[in-house]
Amino acid sequence: MIKTVENSKQKLRCHMRALLQAMPVDQKRAAGELVATHVKSWLTKRFDTPVSIALFDALPDEIDTIPLDSVLVELRASCHIPYINQENRLSFTLRECVGPSNDNLRVIFVPGLAFNQLGHRLGRGKGYYDRTLAELKSLGFPCPLLVGLAMDEQIVAEIPLEEHDVAMDYLCTPALGMIRISRN
């Protein structure tokens, strides 16, 4: 059963990588601009004061996060970036200083190759986000809101799941806007 899930994930990863690599840069930029508009509206309605947020620097096959980064600067958010530390683990650091800063994050924007509307995510296969988020929770840190950022083409009907996979609280795409994931 585990091998079947791993094989299904690998097939979906290959399909999504090919789809995303073939997508023009200007399409990723336009998607990033729309998502930034949705996120700005959501953040200003949800939080009264500037918040501590983690935002990934997009890889070439991901939605462009530069427009969202500009929105976070405008809103005076404390922006953290994820990085892989010397222990080969995901950590977060303030953009303008050096050193880990995992505490007090209120929102983590999470990349993925694919998402479904139930908040499940297909990552790149290394498990960095899943392990780190599970670890923060086990240490008693308040769990930040997890927001999957994606282009509409990255929304699929089904994501193969494993026990350790962490679901998103929100999903944001250009067409869907910011949607809360129902946990029934």
pLDDT per position as a tens digit, 52-94: 999 999 999 999 999 999 999 999 999 999 999 999 989 888 8
CB within 8 Å of 133: residues ≥ 6 apart: 108, 143, 146, 166
Owning domain of residue 88: 2-180
Residue 118: band (very low, low, confident or very high) from pLDDT cuts 50, 70, 90? very high
Across 38-165, where does the E strand assignment appear? 52-54, 78-84, 90-94, 107-110, 114-115, 121-122, 145-149
Angle at 97 between CA 85 and CA 37, to 5 degrees: 95
pLDDT of residue 184: 45
Between CA 29 and CA 132 the distance in angstroms is 29
CATH number for the domain harbouring residue 18: 3.40.50.10420
Residue 98: band (very low, low, confident or very high) from pLDDT cuts 50, 70, 90? very low
This prediction has a pTM of 0.91
Overall domain count for the chain: 1
